Structure 1
Amino acid sequence: MQLTLRRRGVATALAATTALTGSLLAVAPSAQSATIATAVSPSDTPDTPINGFRNVAYFAQWGVYGRNYQVGDFERSGAADKVNVINYAFANIGQDGQCFEAIKAVGTGGTADDGVGAGDAYADYGKSYDAATSVSGTADAWDQPLAGSFNQLKELKAKHPGLKVVMSIGGWSYSKFWSQVAATDASRKKFVSSCVNMFIKGDLPVIDGRGGSGAGAGVFDGFDLDWEWPGTNNGLTGNIVDPANDGKNFVLLAKEFRTQLDAYGAANGKRYILSAFAPANPEDITAGHWNDPALFQSLDYANVQGYDLWGAWNPSLDGHQINLYDDPADPRDSDKQFSVDKAIKQYTDAGIKPAQLGLGMAMYGRGWTGVTSSTPWSSATGAANGTYEKGIEDYDKIKNLGTGGFDANVGAAWRYDGTNWWSLDTPQTVALKADYIRSKGLGGGMWWELDGDRSGELLTALMAKLGTGATGPLAGGGTTDPTDPGTTDPTDPGTTDPTDPGTTDPGDCSATAWDATKVYTGGDTVSYDGKIYTAQWWTQGDKPGASGSSPWKATGTCSGTTDPTDPGTTDPTDPGTTDPTDPGTTDPTDPGTTDPGDCSATAWDATKVYTGGDTVSYDGKIYTAQWWTQGDKPGAEQWGPWALKGTC
């Protein structure tokens, strides 16, 4: 039985550390799915979709300590408009079968007993924020009943009215008593009522002068159920498990949440969110009734784990932890090979509506050390060092490490510095997964966790694909003009209208006319409606000049030429694959070679960052960057970031 781990955990002000482990078994083999567009009817949803898609991200309670990541940091990053639901992780379940608040550190024994009675009311609603660190720019008063992250989230919602905040219950460390509270009708009613009272009605216990009746009202818009895992022993050692009854009781517990949330919502005219974090392991899915259509009659949606598919719990073999499809080079037994596509199929094949599923992605990497080759599935000697835990590191800290690799067929990316090899989501993998979300009619994406990508690069890459163009399957949002014949059919989540060839420019233009049926990548130039546009990333069917987060950037008019000094935007989606046998690291001491002749473009500089559309000269030739690059020598790689455009 092969176990894998999840990056999920809890910490408190007393511990100020992170318990980041979890469980996932290898997914059973099945044929790789083709990304065939699936038409779905728009689905009503209590959140506020962005262009018909949801983008869910977890905010970790413990991040305010060692990671020093506050809700205000998320607001100041400018990424808040790219997320429509924040899941706050995590609320605990008490031995008495109720939701509770406390200040008690998580233990370090490595079993479920570590989480018994643990909580962090100080981080939740006790910690004061000054004007500089708060979302509102106003310091917390010493006597206000609600402070901490709860109040910061409330301030964030005031600035972003479409944003919803959901309380996640359980997680890896807090799943011991799920089976107990789900066991009977009476225990289900008691548990759900306590959670509604505490987090929806806001009746927080008074701790160190904060809290009180109704103090937390207006913070949370629903619940996210993170039971890991009903009916199996694949969760943390010491969890209460009832293999015969947990699955059906989980369905009944979700129904009780739906019933009580709807009853309270009827009184105040609001519909509350009920979601769940869903496993990728077929054993867990079956035992827990996760893909039972009856469960999804209560849930608005579930986010399927799409990460931690491999990790340094096996210290001798590196490999993909976020791959979209199977890797033919995977040397493991077929029943231990798994992928995001396999996980999603476990649900859709059982009849779950794709629009009720979110694709989970990672803002961190899993890594190995002692690796002598950049090729995936190479031998290793152990887990790579991480800031908070061996084998795990934030996206921000490894995104530029060494040299990047990318396999478009597998939908996987990695970084290699000659010793350490990391598997991670990148703008390229995210773009592919966004296309997958559209083609399968899924409801959107989900992220664990926000403090790993502080500038929101990955959020931006996802919404560059989902936030513009054809609307998704969820009711709400939408930027596409349904009367425009050149846009995607709004009933088809991912197919461009092939009958619209695009509009030819009315005048004489140096660039060819945009064609709605053609695929363009970063740096490609077209003309449309009298203007010249440059593609900032992969695109097909997105009309130049359309509103929203467009892949096209206006770079001139038909009477002029494209400005070669325009830096453009990083191409997050180019499927060019780095040669996995060549680490491809340019000597940083080599500033590049100046072209021997007179060139219209400036000489390439190995130390400079270039983005899609940038033009340089090197060795007598002119090259245009197709995506973000630094240190990649023009002409060195057939599928590299530089496209040959001419000679000097």
Structure 2
Amino acid sequence: MPLGAMVALASPAQAAEEATATFVRASDWGSGFEGKWTIRNTGDTTISGWTLKWDFPTGTKAGSAWDASLSSSGNTYTAKNLSWNGTLAPGSSVSFGFNGTGSGSPANCTLNGRPCDGSGGEVPGDAPPSAPGAPTAGSVTDTSVKLSWGAATDDKGVKNYDVLRNGSTVATVTGTSHTDTGLTAGTSYTYSVVARDTAGQTGPASAAVTVKTTGGDGGGNPGGKHINLTYFTEWGVYGRNYHVKNMVTSGSAEKLTHINYSFGNVQGGKCTIGDAFAATDKAYTADQSVDGKADTWDQPLRGNFNQLLKLKKMYPHIKVLWSFGGWTWSGGFPDAMKNPAAFADSCYQLVNDPRWKGLFDGIDLDWEYPNACGLTCDTSGPAVMKTMAQAFRNRFGDQLVTAAITADGSNGGKIDSADYGGASQYLDWYNVMTYDYFGAWDKTGPTAPHSPLTAYPGIPNQGFTSDAAIQKLKAKGVPAEKLLLGIGFYGRGWTGVTQKEPGGTATGAAPGAYEAGIEDYKILKTRCPANGTVAGTAYAHCGNEWWSYDTPATIAGKMAYAKQQGLGGAFSWEISGDTANGELVTAMHNGLKG
């Protein structure tokens, strides 16, 4: 569609009704576009409020909007005026915009129920349905709740009902009852119901009811005494289209105990924000938002931080930490550690900034790697890890202070390069990165699982296993309960492989959606299903590709290992690689219970 092409070209002379709406692509950058709607009052009376609806073809989507409240149901989008731009005098106009993807054009456009070209037409029944009766709960179990409610009324008839759990739709049903399943024992959930009429209009929500499932440990911790933590990546809101709300709709939020928001940067001796737009500025529409409420243009905090605050309100058991560093941004740690107290204070001030008060429960330090080589090589000395941990504990007090650390258990390897044992007395726990042992950076192989739990005959490097790392850390004095086992929600793979079993030769990295040699579990489970296991993890040979990754079954085995070893729990990198129904988080949760 050429830049500036219009969908509706009505003139006031044609208008049998009161207004027209026209659409243009204000800009187009190939991978996305800026859409702009202009609403004009073509009548001789003032308009008090407007609602614009249109359809996009499959493959074209509207995202964040400004100067309007935008929601969607399937391919149908509804934009409504904000408090300050709903009144239009005769001859005046108002515009709003949104970011979109795809090449399609709007269709079936209506403005306040009439065609957008001003050609007239009957106004459909404008009255939305009434609120349904307040739901009542019956047959409450450890994992399910049966809900019933009184029917709503509507002049055109009620089509169906949306059942909302903690503000997010979990089911759409035609009757007046629903059994919500897959819940966590001993956990409270708040339910309400919204009716939809045959014209597609939704009415007000019913009164809410809060129900607590039976069982559980009584402590509000879905993992019992074990930690089930995941990393949520800041950049995932872009190409991956993974947002905080996905943790709710997948059922993962109720099963997680902690979320590490990654990553903040380390620059100039200080902690700094990573991507301010994603963290604090990105506007969320009602359908994208955790609680179903759209961001407004003038609210002080938007983005991931506001969505995480909403998540914590719904799931008060969840603790959120801000993780700093990571593979790409670890280069700032050596300079920052020239003044550990000042470094820790800068991080404390940022983590506890009043703008996002109540969001973060602590900090996670992801230095890859102190006194060892990662993206670059560091020569800070073996004491630097302990010095850093002590400085951060002194500044953060009772808040959580954790660290993501190497899992290189080889003799003279990265664990031997720093005083992880001495540092552990100041830290709440370590996230031991027990993955990425082997991959297509060795482009000719041999093929090997990237996250082996134990050694196996033919393993390319001794000490490159989860168990070797755990045992070495224990031997250095790290308490078992301060160790979390790492689970990768992705696979690593090669191409040009003819051998099904590990140890085959390859010609290079297998193709991946974002980077060669790596792919999300949610893709691999159908693209290249696992057909073997080795060393407690899975592998797959399909065509000429060879992949390794964890499945719900292998995760169950790893969780059993974590409990047998007395570990504090487990963590995952990172949650957008899981399926839409959160099957990997669920496997970790189920394996850690008890």
TM-score, scaled relative to structure 1: 0.56
CA distance in 1, matches of 2:385, 2:464: 26
CA distance in 1, matches of 2:537, 2:481: 24
CA distance in 1, matches of 2:458, 2:417: 31
Alignment of 1:480-491 (within 5 A): none
Alignment of 1:179-578 (within 5 A): 179-183=334-338, 187-200=339-352, 202=353, 214-232=354-372, 234-237=373-376, 241-243=378-380, 245=381, 247-262=382-397, 271-282=398-409, 283-290=413-420, 292=421, 294-317=422-445, 318-330=447-459, 332=460, 335-336=461-462, 338-407=464-533, 410-454=535-579, 455-467=581-593, 470=594
Cα displacement (A) at 1:402: 3.9
**1:146 maps onto 2:301 in alignment:** yes
**CA offsets, 1:454-500, max 9 Å, x none?**
32111111221212xx3xxxxxxxxxxxxxxxxxxxxxxxxxxxxxx
Q: Say if 1:401 and 1:416, in contact at 8 Å, map to a contact too.
A: no
Alignment of 1:93-104 (within 5 A): 93-95=266-268, 97-101=269-273
Cα displacement (A) at 1:417: 1.3
CA distance in 2, matches of 1:248, 1:48: 35
CA distance in 2, matches of 1:163, 1:337: 34
Cα displacement (A) at 1:336: 4.5
Which residue number in structure 1 is paired with residue 189 of structure 2?
Answer: none
Give the stretch that moved more between structures: 276-285 or 76-85.
276-285
CA distance in 2, matches of 1:305, 1:218: 28
Which residue number in structure 2 is paired with residue 122 of structure 1?
Answer: 277
CA distance in 1, matches of 2:224, 2:357: 29
**CA offsets, 1:405-444, max 9 Å, x none?**
2336x21201221211110011121011011011100111
**CA offsets, 1:106-132, max 9 Å, x none?**
xxxxxxxxxxxxx31000101010110
Query: Quick one: structure 1 residues 130 and 403, their matched pair in 2 at CA, closer, same or farther if it must change by over 3 Å?
Result: closer
User: Identity, % of aligned pairs?
Assistant: 40
1:165 to 320, 324, 330: 320
Letter in 2 for 1:412: T
Which residue number in structure 1 is paired with residue 264 of structure 2?
Answer: 91
Letter in 2 for 1:229: Y
Letter in 2 for 1:194: S
Q: Say if 1:316 and 1:380, in contact at 8 Å, map to a contact too.
A: yes
Query: Quick one: structure 1 residues 402 and 255, their matched pair in 2 at CA, closer, same or farther if it must change by over 3 Å?
Result: closer
Long gaps (5+) in structure 1: 1-13, 17-45, 102-118, 203-213, 263-270, 471-648
Letter in 1 for 2:330: S
TM-score, scaled relative to structure 2: 0.61
Q: Say if 1:384 and 1:392, in contact at 8 Å, map to a contact too.
A: yes
Letter in 1 for 2:517: G
CA distance in 1, matches of 2:264, 2:332: 12
Letter in 2 for 1:64: V
Cα displacement (A) at 1:49: 6.6
CA distance in 2, matches of 1:176, 1:385: 29
CA distance in 2, matches of 1:302, 1:311: 24
CA distance in 2, matches of 1:295, 1:406: 39
Cα displacement (A) at 1:329: 3.5
Q: Give the 3-state SS of the residue equivalent to 1:134 in structure 2.
A: coil
Q: Give the 3-state SS of the residue equivalent to 1:92 in structure 2.
A: strand
CA distance in 2, matches of 1:136, 1:403: 36
Cα displacement (A) at 1:100: 2.2
Query: Quick one: structure 1 residues 427 and 319, their matched pair in 2 at CA, closer, same or farther if it must change by over 3 Å?
Result: same
Letter in 2 for 1:302: Y
Q: Give the 3-state SS of the residue equivalent to 1:319 in structure 2.
A: coil
CA distance in 2, matches of 1:321, 1:390: 15
Query: Quick one: structure 1 residues 272 and 416, their matched pair in 2 at CA, closer, same or farther if it must change by over 3 Å?
Result: same
Letter in 2 for 1:357: L
Which residue number in structure 2 is paired with residue 68 of structure 1?
Answer: 241
CA distance in 1, matches of 2:384, 2:453: 32
Letter in 2 for 1:350: K
Cα displacement (A) at 1:47: 11
Structure whose alpha-carbon radius of gyration is higher: 2
Q: Give the 3-state SS of the residue equivalent to 1:423 in structure 2.
A: strand
Q: How many residues are aligned here? A: 373
**1:55 maps onto 2:228 in alignment:** yes
Cα displacement (A) at 1:400: 2.2
Higher-strand-fraction structure: 2
Larger RCO (CA within 8 A; separation ≥ 6)? 1
Cα displacement (A) at 1:351: 2.1
Which residue number in structure 2 is paired with residue 211 of structure 1?
Answer: none
CA distance in 2, matches of 1:309, 1:47: 35
CA distance in 2, matches of 1:156, 1:231: 37
Q: Say if 1:98 and 1:194, in contact at 8 Å, map to a contact too.
A: yes
Cα displacement (A) at 1:140: 0.9
**CA offsets, 1:605-644, max 9 Å, x none?**
xxxxxxxxxxxxxxxxxxxxxxxxxxxxxxxxxxxxxxxx
CA distance in 1, matches of 2:221, 2:255: 12
Cα displacement (A) at 1:338: 2.1
Q: Say if 2:449 and 2:548, in contact at 8 Å, map to a contact too.
A: yes
Letter in 2 for 1:195: C
**CA offsets, 1:553-597, max 9 Å, x none?**
xxxxxxxxxxxxxxxxxxxxxxxxxxxxxxxxxxxxxxxxxxxxx
CA distance in 1, matches of 2:489, 2:473: 24
2:330 to 163, 171, 175: 175
CA distance in 2, matches of 1:63, 1:465: 27
Which residue number in structure 2 is paired with residue 29 of structure 1?
Answer: none
Letter in 2 for 1:321: H
